């Protein structure tokens, strides 16, 4: 069944599976143990860190392997709460993932200032410039790509501006990594990501520190991860995460334009076949894999169920927000009301998604649109 929910999670890539199995078979020892087989695990871990750092264009010792982006986000804000001047504010985009938003609220509280965004949810650079001119900020926070809409933030431009002012910039690259090239993320001070969003295993991710963040610590415990995070290193998970990122970087990310064309064709044709459907943030630069659709009628759960019956797995929005009542904060920040937000359907493709899958999804949407058409409208159908 074509899977269009890659922003929620991805299947494990064969290369990641192999790397994991090789590690649990050959390199399962504790890298801190004092015999040679353990030292070999340490060497393999160091080498994985070097290679992962190369993809991000950073120094290996700035990488902290952890359990995922949620841990990373919590740790960044806890560190900022300890290490920054409490009178300074932190400017944050309102469309961040819950792991960034909730962690920021917990550690920063009243110190948070909302960044101005366009109707598409894109941070306004001129407004940021004004803010940076008006006050000294303790930090700026924007994601690289939005999990619900695919909207790309001008994170490289934001990074330049922050660097010019000496303001730390934290960028959640969870949805960017594996879909678009990682190398320029070295421009960002603090970066987080999760392996399972790009074909790696669940429960493993990373935090990239800025140079000079030697005082940073996440979990207290042993002296692992250059004393930045306690806990026995999950080398099988790290090794599998690296294999997944390497495959994306070396074999996939340059196919972006072709995949973008498939998404654009889908959006264009869907508009022609379902009158009234709206592509959320249509005019914004967006990930090649993501479309957030505001359907012209019927709650999103019914669309999802019907599409599943037609053989396509799509989503109502962020899986991380599913447990919550009320509309998505991302869509609310973009000006959608609660009723509209409940009509949004998220489609997120993967590298294994074919042009035929997109066409099949289009046909399924068109069929379901007729099935779900409100009775009043159906009467006037030919």
d(CA 290, CA 318): 12
Q: For the window 48-87, what string marks contact with its own copies as x by the rule CB under 8 A?
A: ------------------xxxxxx-xx-------------
Residue owning tokens 């190369």: 54
Backbone angles phi, psi at 142, to 5 degrees: -145, 150
Q: For the window 27-46, what string marks contact with its own copies as x by the rule CB under 8 A?
A: -xxx-xxxxxxx--------
DSSP class of residue 12 equals P
Judged by beta carbon, residue 260 or residue 372, the one nearer its own copies is 372
Name which of residues 289 to 308 contact its own copies (CB under 8 A).
301, 304-305, 308
Q: For the window 91-110, what string marks contact with its own copies as x by the rule CB under 8 A?
A: ------xxx--xx-xx----
Q: How many other CB atoms are there within 10 angstroms of residue 18's CB atom? A: 14
Beta strands 190-194 and 169-172: pairing type?
A: parallel
Q: How far is the CB of 354 from its own copies (least distance, A)?
A: 20
The sign of the torsion formed by the CA atoms of 235, 240, 244, 246 equals: positive
d(CA 117, CA 129): 13
Residue owning tokens 């159908």: 381
- Annotated catalytic, 320? yes
Judged by beta carbon, residue 153 or residue 318, the one nearer its own copies is 318
Q: How far is the CB of 70 from its own copies (least distance, A)?
A: 4
Tokens at residue 164, please?
A: 């010019």
Q: For the window 201-220, what string marks contact with its own copies as x by the rule CB under 8 A?
A: xxxx--------------xx
Name which of residues 215 to 244 contact its own copies (CB under 8 A).
219-224, 227, 230-237
Buried b (16+ CB within 10 A) or exposed e, 154-179: bbeebbebbeeeebbbbbbbbbbbbb
Does the protein bind its own copies through residue 324 (CB under 8 A)?
Answer: yes
Catalytic residue, chosen from 58, 99, 162, 320, is: 320
Cα angle 36-42-45, degrees, rounded to a multiple of 5: 145
Active-site positions?
Answer: 320
**Contacts with its own copies, residue ranges (CB under 8 A):** 1, 5, 8-9, 11-12, 17, 21, 24, 28-30, 32-38, 66-71, 73-74, 97-99, 102-103, 105-106, 194, 196, 201-204, 219-224, 227, 230-237, 301, 304-305, 308, 313-316, 318-324
């Amino acid at each position: 069944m074509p899977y269009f929910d890659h922003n929620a999670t991805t299947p494990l890539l064969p290369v990641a599976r192999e790397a994991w199995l090789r590690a649990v078979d050959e390199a399962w020892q504790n890298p801190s143990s004092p015999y040679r087989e353990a030292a070999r695990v340490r060497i393999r871990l160091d080498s994985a860190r070097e290679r992962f750092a190369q993809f991000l264009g950073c120094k290996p010792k700035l990488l902290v392997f952890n359990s995922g982006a949620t841990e990373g986000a919590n740790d960044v804000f806890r560190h900022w709460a300890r290490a920054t001047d409490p009178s300074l504010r932190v400017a944050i985009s309102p469309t961040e993932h819950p792991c960034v938003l909730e962690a920021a609220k917990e550690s920063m509280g009243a110190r948070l200032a909302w960044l101005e965004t366009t109707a598409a949810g894109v941070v306004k650079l001129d407004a940021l410039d004004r803010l940076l001119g008006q006050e000294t900020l303790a930090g700026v926070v924007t994601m690289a790509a939005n999990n619900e809409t695919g909207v790309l933030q001008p994170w490289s431009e934001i990074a330049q501006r922050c660097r010019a002012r000496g303001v730390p910039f934290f960028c959640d690259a969870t949805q960017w990594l594996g879909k678009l090239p990682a190398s320029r993320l070295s421009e960002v001070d603090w970066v987080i990501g999760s392996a399972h969003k790009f074909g790696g295993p669940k429960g493993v991710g990373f935090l990239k520190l800025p140079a000079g963040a030697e005082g940073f610590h996440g979990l207290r415990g042993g002296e692992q991860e250059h004393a930045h995070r306690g806990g026995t290193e999950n080398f099988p998970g790290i090794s599998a995460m690296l294999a997944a990122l390497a495959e994306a970087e070396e074999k996939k990310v340059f196919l972006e334009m072709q995949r973008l064309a498939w998404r654009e064709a889908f959006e264009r044709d869907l508009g022609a076949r379902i009158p009234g459907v709206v592509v959320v943030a249509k005019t914004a630069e967006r990930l090649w894999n993501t479309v957030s659709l505001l359907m012209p009628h019927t709650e999103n759960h019914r669309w999802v169920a019907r599409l599943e019956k037609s053989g396509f797995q799509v989503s109502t929005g962020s899986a991380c927000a599913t447990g919550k009542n009320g509309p998505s904060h991302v869509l609310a920040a973009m000006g959608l009301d609660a009723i509209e937000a409940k009509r949004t359907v998220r489609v997120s493709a993967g590298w294994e998604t074919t042009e035929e899958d997109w066409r099949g999804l289009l046909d399924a949407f068109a069929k379901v649109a007729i099935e779900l058409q409100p009775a009043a409208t159906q009467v006037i159908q030919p």
